[in-house]
Amino acid sequence: MSAARVAVVGHVEWVDFAAVDVLPAAGEIAHADPFFADAAGGGAVAAVQLRKLAGQAAFYTSLGTGPQGGWARQRLTDAHGVDLHAADAPLPQRRGFTHLTGDHERTITIMGERHGPSGADPLDWAALAQADAVYFTAGDPGALRAARAARFLVATPRALATITTAGVPLDVLVASGRDAGERFDVEDIDPRPQYVVLTEGADGGTWAGADGSRGAWAPAEPPGPPVDAYGCGDSFAAGLTYGLGSGLAIDAALVLAARCGAHCLSGRGPYRAQLTTVG
């Protein structure tokens, strides 16, 4: 397995996190301990996980107006070490609020429009042709076409409108089999992805190839007690992207992806316990 050159094309949310025992009922006041904020969302979480696996990772995104956009830029570069390629979006920075509860779940409220980069943005899109693998979470068709220059392209169905408009082939479409927001009909995607991967949380998941091949993987054991699930799916997708870019076959890449998801589960928030070595 060789080191991979990896990147993410996607979105950022500035997220406030509040850890509570249970979700407050209507009219109740809950006291959070701990509480913190960070640049997060699917694109950011995947970029940080890829940086930890590969040593470096490029992140093509757009950051909105207001202080949260500046805070996100600082956290991604200074705190998380991501090679940031960020356009300025003429929109308020998308924000989120997440309750982290004692049952290890996360409940998310999003504020603002989801915005990713555009292929017309003055970013170093040509560098993606040197990437072994790219994970796509948000952007316009031009951004997706630029990402397709990489050897492997993995995407989420949350970017389905862009995927169907751009008409570029995906190597992998990875989705939660339990999240209503990630449901899709593969027959609506042309060209059909080479692989469709459906995660089932603690039950592992399944994959299907366009050639009729099929498989499944078992869940990985977290390295410690479960803490919260925020970022597990995005860390899983990053691990899958890195594995494919490193030359692993789909089955082996999914084993690595499962390890990434399990490690994330054992830390508070998306970054504290992400996997840092593939050995």
CATH code at position 71? 3.40.1190.20
Evaluate whether residue 275 is within a structural domain: no
Evaluate whether residue 1 is within a structural domain: no
Evaluate whether residue 173 is within a structural domain: yes
The answer, yes or no, to whether residue 2 has pLDDT greater than 70, is no
How many domains would you assign to the chain?
A: 1
**Model confidence, pTM:** 0.96
Query: Where residue 1 falls among pLDDT bands split at 50, 70, 90?
Result: low
Q: 166-207 pLDDT, tens per residue?
A: 999 999 999 987 777 778 888 889 999 999 999 998 899 999
Evaluate whether residue 58 is within a structural domain: yes
Q: How many beta carbons lie within 10 A of that of residue 142, not counting itself?
A: 16
Burial 237-266 (b: 16+ CB within 10 A, else e): bbbbbbbbbbebebeebbebbbbbbbbbbb
Report whether 204 contacts 258 (CB < 8 A): yes
Evaluate whether residue 279 is within a structural domain: no
Evaluate whether residue 242 is within a structural domain: yes
Evaluate whether residue 274 is within a structural domain: no
Query: Where residue 152 falls among pLDDT bands split at 50, 70, 90?
Result: very high
Report the C-alpha gap between 143 and 35 in whole angstroms: 35
Q: Which domain range does residue 258 map to?
A: 6-24+32-265
Evaluate whether residue 168 is within a structural domain: yes
